[in-house]
Structure formats: C-alpha cells, structure tokens
C-alpha cells in the first residue's frame, strides 16, 4: 500500500519527469493527493491476492503521478478519487479495454491470426469501425499511464508486442518467455507509456504459426486511467465510450 508521505515525496520527481518528456501539468494539492492514495489502495492493492501486482504499480508511482498532474492540466479539474463528482476527474482507476477502443472488455479482440503481426489497438476494431491498421487518438476526457502488458488467457501464446506512439515505432518488446513462465503472465515495462489528449497510439501482437493458423488469447495493458467524472456517469455502458461526445477515444 502507499501513503500520503510516499506520494508527496515523489511529486517533485513526477514534475521533473513530466518536464523531461514535455507533458503539460498542474501541481497536485493535498486533497488530491489524499484522493489518489485512497483510490490507488482501493483499486490496485486490496483486490489482488498476489502482492506482485501491487508491487508493480508502486514501482511506477512516479509515472502514475505524472498522469494525475497531466489530467488535472488537460481537463482543468480537480482529481476527485475513484467516485468523482461530475465536475471532477477520477483518481487512478484501472485501464479498461473500452478506453482504448478494443471493445467492452479485453476478450473482444480474440481470436488472432498467427505467423505475422496482428492489429490489436487500432482504429479498425469492430468497436470503433475505422480503418484497419490506423492509430487510435486519445480524447480530451482521458489520460492513461501504461506500465505493462499481460494476458488473461490461462496459456498465453503472444511472443512479441509492437507499439507505435505519436507516429513513431517503438522497439519490439519480447513477451513470450516471461508471459509463459510467470504465474501472472505479466511483462512489466521499464518505461511508462503516458497517453494524453491527441496522443496517437497503435499496438500489434505477434503469435507463432506453430500454434496453428488462429488462436485465442486475451492480451491487456496493465495501467491506470484518469477519466472525466461526467463521462463515467453519462457513458456508463462501455459500448458508449466510443461516442464522439464522450471524447475518450477516436479513429484516425
């Protein structure tokens, strides 16, 4: 678990990190820090029996705080906890598949063709209905901090993750051995991926044809989201998050 003293000690590091990567922020006040601590401990520590998961989130607390300050600046609103008022922003809540345009849940992306990179997060999902292979674009009512990649399938098959951020291809991430041998099927990232308004993003997965021509897998991103409280009320059905009025995710 985290506490207020821990967060306050890391705020200056988060401000420096934001400046280094060029993300506009607003400083957090004491009330917002309390809300972040409460939401973090409720969402990322208590629900998990495996202490390893909360350890991962704690290692990425600086990036999570960058996300909070970026969201405060972007939405010009107060960080209000995991049950924010309509004019506030959610404190860190789990990153959902709908927020990235995948579907109502992470399962909606499966099955995958093997033998070549396959689109996963992109404009051409059934959910978004845009052009296959195009990046998605983050809206003004969302900020996401991605800290890792995992699979909810009992026998993961994905061996590589291919990312594109703001039009630039990132180095391919090898996931196969750690995903298969680890009990939690999680590949932690050494560097956070922070998605703010107008960020463009695409993710592909690679699965060996040794498993057949098509396989089931359930990839997901480990991370947190900051979402407008009004959106969390008005668009409670995940299928409505794709609405242009929600300003969460769009096609390119």
3-state helix, strand, coil in the chain (%, to 5): 35, 25, 40
Res 189: pLDDT: 92
Task: Classify residue 44: in a domain, yes or no.
Answer: yes
Does residue 169 lie within any of the structural domains? yes
The answer as to whether 247 is a domain residue is: no
Q: Tell me if 246 is assigned to some domain.
A: no
- As for how many domains the chain has, the answer is 1
**Digit-coded pLDDT (tens) for 89-127:** 998 999 999 999 999 999 999 999 999 999 999 999 999
Q: Is residue 39 part of a domain?
A: yes
Q: What is the pLDDT of residue 48?
A: 54
Residue 76 carries which DSSP code? T
- Over residues 65-96, the pLDDT tens digits come to 999 999 999 999 999 988 999 999 998 999 99
Residue with token string 């208590």:
46
3-state secondary structure labels for all residues of 189-244: EEEEEEECCCCEEEEEEEECHHHCCEECCCEEEEEEEEEEHHHHHHCCCHHHCCCC
The answer to whether position 239 is within a domain reads no
Of 25, 122, 106, which is closest to residue 64 (Cα–Cα)?
Answer: 25
Domain extent, residue 129, equals 4-234
* pTM recorded for the entire structure: 0.92
Give domain status of residue 166, yes or no.
Answer: yes
Confidence (pLDDT) at 51: 56
Low-confidence ranges of the chain (pLDDT < 50): 47
The structure tokens listed for 49 are 């029996």
If DSSP codes are grouped into helix, strand and coil, which group holds residue 89?
A: strand
Q: Tell me, yes or no, whether 212 lies in a domain.
A: yes
């Amino acid at each position: 678990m985290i506490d207020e003293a821990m967060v306050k000690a890391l705020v200056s590091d988060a401000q420096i990190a934001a400046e280094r990567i060029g993300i506009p922020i607003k400083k957090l006040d004491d009330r917002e820090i309390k809300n972040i601590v409460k939401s973090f401990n409720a969402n990322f520590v208590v629900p998990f029996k495996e202490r390893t998961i909360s350890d991962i989130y704690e290692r990425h607390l600086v990036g999570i705080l960058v996300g909070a300050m970026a969201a405060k600046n972007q939405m010009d609103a107060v960080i209000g906890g995991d049950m924010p008022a309509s004019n506030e922003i959610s404190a860190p809540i789990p990153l959902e598949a709908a927020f990235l345009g995948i579907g109502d849940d992470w399962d909606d992306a499966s099955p995958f063709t093997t033998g070549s990179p396959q689109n996963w997060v992109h404009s051409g999902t059934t959910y978004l209905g845009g052009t296959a292979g195009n990046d998605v674009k983050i809206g003004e009512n969302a900020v996401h901090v991605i800290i890792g990649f995992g699979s909810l399938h009992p026998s993961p098959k994905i061996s590589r993750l291919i990312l594109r951020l703001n039009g630039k291809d990132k180095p391919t991430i090898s996931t196969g051995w750690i995903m298969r041998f680890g009990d939690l099927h999680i590949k932690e990232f050494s560097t956070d991926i922070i998605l703010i308004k107008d960020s463009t993003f695409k993710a592909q997965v690679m699965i060996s044809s040794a498993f057949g021509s098509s396989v089931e897998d359930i990839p997901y991103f480990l991370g947190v989201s900051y979402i407008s409280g009004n959106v969390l009320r008005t668009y409670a059905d995940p299928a409505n998050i794709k609405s242009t009025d929600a300003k969460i995710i769009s096609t390119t």
